[in-house]
């Protein structure tokens, strides 16, 4: 695809672009077996996990980098990246007063207060800077409910049986190139376990912040909801402005047992690159949930506004009878961003249901692509799947594409897919202007109206944040 | 000719009708009145043999034959007609072809000669124009793109073409304007003269005042009582 | 030479062409449609085969209507690929494909509408409907579009599911048993694809479809 020179910058000043001077422990650049042993040793990991990493790494070496996304993918030199950087002064776990002030300030600037007095009400936060979890709030309170909410690293130390049981059960290490890489060099992420019958009393959230230059982020998140439990989880992320691209290859696995419900929401705002398309985060993520028990429910809600390239398909394996999967997505691209995102709903159980609502918005010189799959196996009698994908194109140089696949192997299944395209109504914009509303504000209003069916699935505080981000990303896109 | 004996009916495992009994002798017109939610539609579905209505006890007898377990298409061929409140659309299936198939099934069951396509088309046109039905009703797929009023007229056209021995009309007069009511009265009267018995489910006086009727039943909470007139 | 023998041809400006394709060819059939011209093609694929059709709407106001019906049974495998490229302003395309797969057969349908920078004001619509008549049949459809302009109307829809049970019951109350009702509805399912066919080919097409339906319908409930 040829991009014409933009007349004016169409990417708003990325307000999270600051970087913090934090002393870090780093491994050498490049990736060899040594690097992996080094990472594993610095994290004090048991041998079984080191072996798991090494096996994934050896597998990764045999795989070829995929290039099939509907995007211009940059070449990645895997040997010129750093795979681990941990802030030097590590606080004792659970004692937030020992936080390195520069780290505490970083998160405060991002609006994520970590000190006890300023906790976000009703939301427990696990803050991750580069490769390590810095702090996890509300851990003690949650423990009284039997809920485990901690960094992945802590889970490996304190709950190895649970980790062993579920790690790789939904996204095996050889699943795809970036999942294999993640399995080899995974850094911190979040571990959640909700015991039988417990409705988690707080929303859980993780906040990922990339800081160190040249370092990729490879977090691993594992959420296990035991029978009849319920949890809502939110993931937020930002990164500083850099002139080189940074790789974010995360893996998220969710297991929902009988009658359990997991709601996972992401508001993604990685640095998108500058007005010339230089820099920005490469967001190549594998996210998948497995409905392992009857009537389990997993929903993915995502608002993707950042990253230079977003390449991810949060999916649900509807293995058990009567289980349900949902995917609600808004993918906005402006400037030179590219997104190729969507979902896969794999129906194996009887009477399983999936719902997909995806909105793609492309402005500037960007491309926003939806790619989806609804697959109904012969065992999935009476399954139902419905998808609604809409594209909104703003401006003469933006591109949008929709690539759904419906693969049906059972006659009693009801599968439907609809897609429409729209543009911003000139008469609507004029009407708003005639009422004194500035173009940028008007665009924000119209776009948020367009995305309402998706944003209404976000918890309230995050819906507000998401809407603000949506409007912000599109500032300057309509002349 | 038609008797319902102590019929109890459930829908989705929920009991709706309890111990319903009624009799409709040949050539007579009987009315069923009752508030919404009383079970009127369930009764008409059960009498027509819809799989949605489960008969938990009792019998339905047609000319001394127990038809309680008879499938709907065989009841139709005996001469039972149900007019739907919300007939489904069947896009792509030509209305004329559908009508001809239905009419011929009845004719064959009654040992009459089935219609060939062209004579049937002429027959439909003749009946339509006699009662003021537009040709538009039969041009597309079955009930395809028809408004509520047009769907009602389409059901009446089917009644006229099928010449049933018993017609069950489920609220045929709801939402009708004066002209619509006129057409409905004309169709029922013509069918009565042709030997069709009726069970008409309705709320409104307007229709009852215009027709010859022989008895009234009232339904409330799934129970049916005969009204003395 | 009939359309199915020629690999590529053009529909000239202001012309109207109606064609019927019944024998799948291994080569891609390419059609270029000039300004103000209209191309209608009806595709009837019964049995195994691959048919690829590439249509380019090259002149302003050009339009293409493609109506296809795929019927497969036993171990047959059928595939239809249709791409429509909107390269001029105000062009219109309508792609409708209905598929019925029985026994162990499988049907794959790919439709891609591309609207380039030159296709401002264009309108593309893709609708796929599929029916599986047996538990070992398979249907895989991809209704796709790529757009490079904001000023377009683009829609697509795909649906797979069993025949409407309420409609079958309705037919029963009109004396039409389930087997006859299903045959009626299957024929009706096919009807929607006759719209693009040349008038003189219509009767033969309908006969072939009705033969297939009568020979192949298997009661699934």
Contacts of residue C194 in chain B, CB cutoff 8 Å? none
Using CB atoms, pick whichever of C140, C158, C162 lies closest to residue A417.
C158
pLDDT tens per residue across span B59-100: 999 998 999 998 888 888 889 999 887 888 877 778 888 888
Contact C175 B77 (CB under 8 A): yes
pLDDT tens per residue across span B172-187: 888 888 888 899 999 9
- DSSP annotation of C12 reads P
Range of weakest confidence among A15-29, A107-121, C68-82, C103-117: A107-121
Closest-CA residue of chain C to A399: C148
Q: How far apart are CA B206 and CA B188, in angstroms?
A: 14
Contacts of residue B158 in chain C, CB cutoff 8 Å? 174
**What are the residues facing C130 on neighbouring strands?**
C99, C160
Work out the pLDDT band at A171, boundaries 50, 70, 90: very high
Q: How far apart are CA C179 and CA C166, in angstroms?
A: 14
Contacts of residue B76 in chain C, CB cutoff 8 Å? 172-176
Using CB atoms, pick whichever of A378, A411, A424 lies closest to residue C133.
A411
Contact C145 A420 (CB under 8 A): no
Which is higher by pLDDT, A238 or A352? A352
Whether the CB-CB separation of A70 and A401 falls below 8 Å is answered with: yes
pLDDT tens per residue across span A436-470: 777 787 888 888 888 888 988 887 777 877 887 88
Q: How far apart are CA A49 and CA A37, in angstroms?
A: 10
User: For chain C, what is the largest distance between any 2 Cα atoms, rounded to a whole number of angstroms?
Assistant: 56
pLDDT of residue A4: 28
Whether the CB-CB separation of B155 and B70 falls below 8 Å is answered with: no
Q: Do chains A and B touch (3 or more CB pairs under 8 A)?
A: no
Contacts of residue A413 in chain C, CB cutoff 8 Å? 160-161
Q: Which of residues 162-201 of C touch B (CB under 8 A)?
A: 164, 166-167, 169-178, 180, 184-185, 187-192
Residue C221 neighbours by CB under 8 Å, 6+ apart: C178
Q: Does C209 touch chain B (CB under 8 A)?
A: no
Using CB atoms, pick whichever of A400, A414, A417 lies closest to residue C147.
A400
What's the rounded mean pLDDT across residues A412-441?
82
Using CB atoms, pick whichever of A378, A399, A415 lies closest to residue C160.
A415
Q: How far apart are CA A423 and CA A478, in angstroms?
A: 11
Whether the CB-CB separation of A251 and A183 falls below 8 Å is answered with: yes
**Whether residue B106 has pLDDT greater than 70:** yes
User: For chain B, what is the largest distance between any 2 Cα atoms, rounded to a whole number of angstroms?
Assistant: 49
Residue with tokens 């996972």: A264
pLDDT of residue B227: 73
**Whether residue B216 has pLDDT greater than 70:** yes
Q: How far apart are the first and last CA of chain A?
A: 23
Contact C145 A421 (CB under 8 A): yes
Q: How far apart are CA A65 and CA A247, in angstroms?
A: 14
Contact B72 C191 (CB under 8 A): no
pLDDT of residue A110: 64
**Whether residue A324 has pLDDT greater than 50:** yes
Q: How far apart are CA B138 and CA B99, in angstroms?
A: 9
Closest-CA residue of chain C to A365: C148
Contacts of residue B105 in chain C, CB cutoff 8 Å? 174-176, 180
pLDDT in tens, chain C (221 residues): 444 445 688 888 888 888 888 877 777 889 999 999 999 999 999 999 999 999 999 999 999 999 999 999 999 999 999 999 999 999 999 999 999 999 999 999 999 999 999 999 999 999 999 999 888 999 999 999 999 988 888 999 999 988 888 888 899 999 998 888 888 888 888 877 787 788 888 888 888 888 888 887 655 44
Work out the pLDDT band at A107, boundaries 50, 70, 90: low
Give the minimum alpha-carbon distance from B96 to chain C in angstroms, rounded to a whole number. Answer: 12
Burial string for C157-187 (b: 16+ CB within 10 Å, else e) reads ebbbbbbeebbbbbbbbbbbbbebbbbbbbb
Instruction: Compute the CA torsion angle C41, C44, C50, C51 (nearest 10 deg).
Output: -10
Q: How far apart are CA A300 and CA C192, in angstroms?
A: 38
Range of weakest confidence among A80-94, A108-122, A275-289, B8-22: A108-122
Above pLDDT 90, what percent of chain A?
A: 43
Contact A404 C144 (CB under 8 A): yes
Work out the pLDDT band at A214, boundaries 50, 70, 90: low
**Whether residue A192 has pLDDT greater than 90:** yes
What's the rounded mean pLDDT across residues A386-407?
92
pLDDT of residue A5: 28
- DSSP annotation of B85 reads S
Report the residue of C72, C131, C150, C189 to disrupt the A interface, i.e. the one with the largest count of A CBs within 10 Å. C150
Using CB atoms, pick whichever of C136, C152, C157 lies closest to residue A417.
C157
């Amino acid at each position: 695809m040829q991009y014409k020179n933009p007349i004016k910058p169409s990417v708003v000043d990325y307000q999270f672009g600051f970087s913090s001077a934090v002393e870090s422990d780093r491994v050498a650049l490049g990736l060899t077996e040594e690097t992996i042993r080094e990472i594993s040793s610095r994290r004090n990991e048991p041998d079984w996990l080191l072996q798991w990493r090494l096996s994934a790494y050896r597998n990764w070496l045999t795989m070829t980098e995929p290039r099939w996304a509907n995007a211009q993918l940059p070449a990645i030199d895997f040997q010129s990246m750093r795979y681990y950087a941990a802030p030097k002064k590590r606080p004792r776990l659970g004692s937030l007063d020992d936080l390195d002030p520069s780290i505490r300030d970083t998160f405060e600037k991002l609006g994520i207060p970590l000190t006890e007095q300023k906790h976000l009400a009703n939301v427990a936060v696990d803050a991750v800077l580069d490769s390590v979890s810095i702090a996890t709030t509300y851990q003690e309170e949650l423990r009284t409910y039997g809920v485990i909410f901690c960094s992945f690293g802590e889970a490996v130390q304190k709950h190895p049986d649970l980790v062993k049981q579920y790690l790789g059960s939904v996204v095996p290490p050889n699943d795809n190139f970036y999942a294999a890489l993640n399995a080899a060099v995974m850094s911190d992420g979040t571990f959640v376990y909700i015991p039988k019958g417990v409705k988690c009393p707080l929303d859980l959230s993780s906040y990922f912040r990339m800081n160190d230059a040249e370092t990729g982020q490879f977090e691993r998140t594992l959420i296990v909801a035991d029978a009849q439990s319920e949890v809502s989880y939110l993931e937020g992320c930002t990164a500083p402005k850099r002139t080189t691209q940074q790789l974010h290859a995360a893996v998220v696995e969710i297991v929902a047992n009988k009658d359990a419900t997991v709601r996972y929401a992401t508001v993604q705002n990685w640095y998108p690159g500058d007005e010339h398309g230089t820099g920005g985060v490469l967001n190549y993520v594998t996210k998948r949930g497995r409905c392992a028990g009857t009537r389990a429910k997993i929903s993915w809600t995502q608002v993707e506004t950042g990253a230079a390239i977003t390449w991810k398909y949060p999916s649900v394996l509807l293995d058990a009878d009567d289980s349900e999967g949902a995917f609600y997505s808004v993918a906005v691209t402006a400037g030179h961003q590219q997104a190729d995102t969507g979902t896969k709903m794999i129906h194996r159980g009887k009477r399983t249901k999936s719902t997909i609502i995806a909105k793609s918005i492309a402005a500037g010189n960007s491309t926003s692509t939806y790619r989806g799959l609804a697959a109904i196996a012969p065992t999935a009698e009476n399954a139902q799947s419905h998808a609604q994908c809409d594209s909104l194109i703003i401006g003469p140089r933006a591109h949008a594409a929709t690539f759904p696949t419906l693969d049906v192997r059972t006659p009693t299944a009801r599968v439907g897919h609809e897609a429409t395209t729209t543009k911003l109504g000139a008469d609507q914009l004029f009407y708003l202007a005639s009422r004194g509303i500035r173009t940028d504000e008007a665009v924000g209003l119209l776009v948020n109206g367009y995305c309402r069916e998706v944003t209404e699935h976000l918890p309230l505080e995050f819906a507000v944040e998401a809407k603000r981000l949506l409007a912000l990303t599109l500032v300057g896109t309509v002349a | 000719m038609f008797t319902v004996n102590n019929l109890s009916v459930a829908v989705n495992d929920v009991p709706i009708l309890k111990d319903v009994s009624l009799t409709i002798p040949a050539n007579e017109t009987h009315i069923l009145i009752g508030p919404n939610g009383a079970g009127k539609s369930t009764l008409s579905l059960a009498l027509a043999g819809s799989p949605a209505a489960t008969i938990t006890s009792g019998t339905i007898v047609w000319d001394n034959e127990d038809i309680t377990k008879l499938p709907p298409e065989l009841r139709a061929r005996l001469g039972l007609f149900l007019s739907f409140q919300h007939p489904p659309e069947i896009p792509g299936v030509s209305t004329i072809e559908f009508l001809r198939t239905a009419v011929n099934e009845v004719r064959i069951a009654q040992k009459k000669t089935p219609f060939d396509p062209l004579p049937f088309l002429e027959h439909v046109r003749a009946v339509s124009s006699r009662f003021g039905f537009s040709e538009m009703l039969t041009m597309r797929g079955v009930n395809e793109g028809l408004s509520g009023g047009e769907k009602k007229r389409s059901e009446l056209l089917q009644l006229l073409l099928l010449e049933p021995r018993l017609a069950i009309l489920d609220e045929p007069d709801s939402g009708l304007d004066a002209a619509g009511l006129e057409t409905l009265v004309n169709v029922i009267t013509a069918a009565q003269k042709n030997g069709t018995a009726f069970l008409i489910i309705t709320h409104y006086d307007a229709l009852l005042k215009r027709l010859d009727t022989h008895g009234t039943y009232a339904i409330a909470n799934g129970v049916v009582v005969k009204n003395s007139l | 030479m009939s359309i199915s023998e020629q690999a590529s041809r053009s529909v000239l400006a202001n012309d109207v062409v109606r064609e019927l394709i019944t024998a799948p060819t291994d080569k891609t059939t390419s059609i270029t449609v000039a300004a103000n011209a209209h191309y209608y093609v009806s595709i009837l694929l019964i049995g195994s085969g691959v048919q690829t059709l590439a249509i380019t709407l090259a002149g302003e106001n050009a339009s293409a209507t493609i109506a296809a019906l795929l019927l497969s049974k036993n171990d047959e495998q059928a595939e239809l690929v249709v791409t429509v490229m909107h390269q001029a302003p105000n062009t219109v395309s309508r792609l409708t494909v209905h598929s019925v797969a029985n026994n162990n057969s499988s049907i794959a349908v790919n439709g891609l509408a591309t609207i380039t920078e030159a296709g401002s004001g264009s309108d593309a619509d893709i609708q796929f409907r599929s029916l599986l008549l047996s538990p070992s049949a398979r249907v895989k459809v991809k209704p796709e579009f790529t757009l490079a302009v904001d000023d377009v109307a683009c829609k697509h829809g795909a649906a797979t599911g069993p025949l409407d049970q309420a409609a079958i019951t309705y037919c029963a109350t009109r004396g039409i048993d389930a087997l006859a009702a299903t045959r009626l509805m299957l024929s009706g399912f096919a009807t929607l694809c006759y719209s693009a066919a040349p008038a003189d080919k219509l009767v033969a097409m309908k006969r072939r479809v009705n033969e297939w339906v009568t020979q192949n319908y298997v009661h699934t409930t």
